[in-house]
Chains A and B, each alone.
Chain A
Amino acid sequence: MAHLVVENLTKTFGTLKVLKGVDFSLEKGEVLAIIGSSGSGKTTLLRCLNFLETADGGQITVSGRPLLDGYNNDEDIRKKRLNFGLVFQSFNLFPQYSVLENVCLAPELHAQEKPDFKANKAAILADIRKNGMELLEKVGLADKADAYPCQLSGGQQQRVAIARALALSPEILCFDEPTSALDPNLTGEVLRVIRSLKTSDRTMIVVTHEMDFARKVADKVIFMANGIIEEEGTPEQVFGNPQSELTKAFLTGFDFTED
């Protein structure tokens, strides 16, 4: 059984059909790159996975557990969400918290709900901080732990956002155009971090316009158009030998550097 299975996922806004039946599956540790022109439904797909939108139909299954099971109260949604992490295009760091606090806020709030929190408060909090510092080290920002988001460059902010998402160890980490809001000279540092996260047990979905990145890092590439998956395959297949006319037309818009 694949780690993540998405079947016939649909979503309509008013009369606008944004997802018209999306199917794909990912094995544990696989990296999926989703490409496609603006408005094709990529963001909506990620938002449905993260339960920021409720899909109209279809199924999302993680490790064999179907998530669209009709249990939709706040508490159910909150639990289901935690299967996924999401890194936004616009970072959305919490401005009033320092970098380390941004990373530790959610783990601390979750820890407070556990029955043994009061008894081991100091140890639990120290543990969360230590883990937070390790994550900041991983994204190369340990020296900025006490800085505030407004003191960081866009690339640094996005790396903090990645550390923040990692702090809850989601099984599947999603990125929605993580470098689109950045100056071109800052995209490299973020893409390098994302690339470094690729491990055998972290499944990742990256919506991106960075075709080089998709080609080098992804195990699987999906090209979306008009709310459906127009083409799917390995990077070699999709970039090297696209079958669909739409894919070909889309890809001619990008320059590829040979390596």
Chain B
Amino acid sequence: MTFLEVTAFLLDGFKISLLIFAVTLLCGAPLGLPIAFCSMSKFKPLKALSKVIVWIVRGVPLMLQIFIIYYVPGLLFDFPLFSKIDIFMLINYGIEDAGRIVAVLIAFTINYACYFSEIYRGGIESISRGQYEAGYVLGLTQSQVFRKIVLKQVVKRIVPPMSNEIITLIKDTALANCIMVAEIIKQAKELAATDAMVWPLFYTGVFYLIFVGILTILLSKLEKKLSYFRG
């Protein structure tokens, strides 16, 4: 295989990595918000439930969570949902690994939503009571105070921890190969096994590095944009 062919082969895998990245971000980031509000709820049972879920999801390795999501329907209900999706999509549409990818997306979204929720909660709780009270005294509603006063300050505060988490996310996508999803590292391992080429495994690092570089530039632009105020 030529260098270009290897690159194309790995790029196919990296597309899967990027898919996992994008879906996790687009679904996990919004999902984190209701979880954060539940964790801050004055209704004790809801708060407790939310905290327990976050504790479990953050306390268990993501790889294990992928296994659980993937295998539990078959083991517990005798209905291997994701394998069935795999077969269905392969036969009808010629798409490989669809069920496995869905399992990975679910595990990633839940996992990252919980991490994001803790970042949101920290950000929201760090805004001083004085900011809320200044808004209330001016006759604003609770929702106006949150949207017009608190939100932007929270966004400013969570950009740095969110940036860290987002950069971790692209690297975490490699975990999908634990259930044989053909992300980039799985592709490289296949080359090692079938063509006895080890160097593509190291070459995958370049893909991550380029992507992380782009992310870093974009995120620091966002940070700069919010640097016009302090607070």
Q: Are B137 and A50 within 8 A (Cβ)?
A: yes
Contact status of A78 and B229, CB under 8 A, knowing A92-B130, A94-B134: no
Q: Which of A94-132 contact B (CB under 8 A)?
A: 94-96, 105-106, 109-110
Which residue from B136, B138, B142, B231 sits with its C-beta under 8 Å from A95?
B231
- Name B139's closest neighbour in chain A (CB-CB): A82
Q: Choose, from A57-65, A83-91, A194-202, A251-259, the stretch at the interface.
A: A83-91
Question: Is the CB of A68 closer than 8 A to any CB of chain B?
Answer: no
B130 engages A88 (CB within 8 Å): yes
A52 vs B93: C-alpha distance when bound (angstroms): 62
Q: Are B142 and A96 in contact (CB under 8 A)?
A: no
Indicate whether A213 reaches chain B with its CB closer than 8 angstroms. no
Q: Of the candidates A74, A88, A96, A164, which one forms a contact with B141 in the assembled complex, judged by CB atoms under 8 Å apart? A: A74
With both beta carbons as reference points, the residue of chain A lying nearest to B230 in the complex is identified as A150
Q: Within the complex, which residue of B128, B136, B140 is in contact with A109, where a contact is CB–CB below 8 Å?
A: B140
Q: How large is the interface on B (under 10, 10 to 19, 20 to 34, 35 or more residues)?
A: 20 to 34
Is A28 at the interface (CB under 8 A from chain B)?
no
List residues of B (132-176) whose CB comes within 8 Å of A's CBs.
133-142, 144, 148-149, 152-153, 156
From B133, B134, B137, B231, A96 is in contact (CB under 8 Å) with B231
Partner of B138, one of A74, A79, A90, A164: A164
Residues of A within 8 A of B230 (CB): 95, 148-150
Interface residue? B41 (CB, 8 A) = no
Q: In the bound complex, do residue B144 and residue A92 qualify as a contact, i.e. CB atoms below 8 Å apart? A: no
* Known A79-B139, A150-B230; 16 more pairs at CB < 8 Å: A51-B136, A52-B136, A74-B142, A78-B140, A84-B137, A92-B128, A92-B134, A93-B134, A94-B135, A94-B149, A106-B135, A106-B139, A106-B140, A109-B148, A150-B229, A168-B139
Interchain Cβ contacts under 8 Å between A and B, 11 examples: A51-B136, A78-B139, A79-B139, A81-B136, A88-B134, A92-B130, A94-B134, A95-B230, A110-B139, A165-B138, A168-B139
